[in-house]
Structure 1
Amino acid sequence: MASPSISRTAPTTSVAREPRVFTVVASPVGDLTLTGTTEALTGCWFECHGKPTNVGPDLRRDDSAFAEAATQLAAYFAGERTDFDLSLHPTGTPFQLQVWERLRAIPYGETRTYGDLAVEVGSPGASRAVGLANGRNPLSIIVPCHRVIGADGSLTGYGGGMDRKRYLLDLEAGVRSLL
């Protein structure tokens, strides 16, 4: 089943007016803070990120709002899930949204370079812009920015830290060989 696409609706939609909620989910790479509304996930943040940037003063904890996301993340880390089927509504520029959508198309266990992604989004000379968009991805793991590597095949920057990036890539490589 294909994953739902990233919502590109304007911030004035009903999703933007929904109360902002969060929960914290334990994972093998540390606690993950999930943010959003009762209708859509807007962020998945590592504890090293500090307070997520996409929340307002009305933020309240609601573990039930993200029960499905927590279940899918647990299945991912257990090697039982290779994709996420969640309603997503990240905030970004049109170019960022385009890059994030393309990230979701990178198959589990595979990687792409920044240059590959630039070509795939129709901007072959925009490797740096793709890198910046990748770095601003608010949905770590779910929008798999960890699957992007340097042109020489080396691991390059990752907002969650290089150890987490290596862990996620190793997890996917190991599980993929068992599928």
Structure 2
Amino acid sequence: MFYSTQYSSPLGVITLASDGTHLVGLWFDGQKYFGGTVTQPMEEKNDLPVFHTVTNWLNRYFAGESPSAASLPLAPNGTDFRKEVWQILLEIPYGEVITYGQISEKIAARRSLAHMSSQAVGGAVGHNPISIIIPCHRVVGSNGKLTGYAGGTDKKLWLLNHEHAELSHKAARS
């Protein structure tokens, strides 16, 4: 069984999903792949302890703090490759950005490969089921340009500006 609740953010309504113990999803309304990793219907249940913990984290984040995701019980559902990419996303410091190519290089090095596809990394980043907390918004194109974001590039830009991330002039205009 999966459970959901709603969170009102400065960027609109966010749906949180849980298996009862862990956070398995966090999506903006209308987000691409909304609920895609939840394999069963969700029942609204606002009083789960995990939702209180995540709501507190989000309140702190939107208040300008840099709360650690390590304190949250995250359980994103995906392939081993996607989980590997999402783990790298969790390592990106608040207010910093990384490119798809840099993630590809990290995975290639960890796997002792000569090369890893940036497009495959992009697919994994785009299917991240726990937006904001697993910070896929901190991934930019090789030229520093903002690229796709399942929640919308307007939200990506807002989140990066909120974190005071250093963006190239080109990215800030995107």
TM over 0.5: yes
1:72–1:81 CA contact under 8 A, matched in 2: no
- Report 1:41-52 matches (<5 A): 41-49=23-31, 52=35
* TM superposition shift of 1:121: 1.4
Segments of 5+ residues of structure 1 without an aligned counterpart are 1-18, 175-179
* TM superposition shift of 1:56: 4.7
Q: Using the alignment, how far apart are the partners of 1:69 and 1:56 within structure 2?
A: 21
Q: Using the alignment, how far apart are the partners of 2:96 and 2:38 within structure 1?
A: 32
Q: Using the alignment, how far apart are the partners of 1:121 and 1:82 within structure 2?
A: 26
Alignment pair present for 1:169 and 2:160 = yes
Segments of 5+ residues of structure 2 without an aligned counterpart are 166-174
1:41–1:87 CA contact under 8 A, matched in 2: yes
* TM superposition shift of 1:59: 2.0
Partner of 1:72: 57
The CA RMSD measured in Å over matched residues stands at: 1.6
2:27–2:130 CA contact under 8 A, matched in 1: yes
Question: How many pairs are equivalent?
Answer: 156
Partner of 2:15: 33
Residue 91 of structure 1 is aligned with which of 71, 77, 87?
77
Partner of 1:59: 42
TM-score (normalizing by structure 1): 0.82
SS in 2 for 1:157: coil
SS in 2 for 1:108: coil
Q: Percent identity?
A: 41
Q: Using the alignment, how far apart are the partners of 1:143 and 1:54 within structure 2?
A: 15
Deviations for 1:21-47, whole angstroms, at most 9, x for unmatched residues?
Answer: 000000011111000122100000110
Q: Using the alignment, how far apart are the partners of 1:97 and 1:56 within structure 2?
A: 17
TM-score (normalizing by structure 2): 0.84
Q: Using the alignment, how far apart are the partners of 2:77 and 2:39 within structure 1?
A: 13
Q: Using the alignment, how far apart are the partners of 2:10 and 2:159 within structure 1?
A: 10
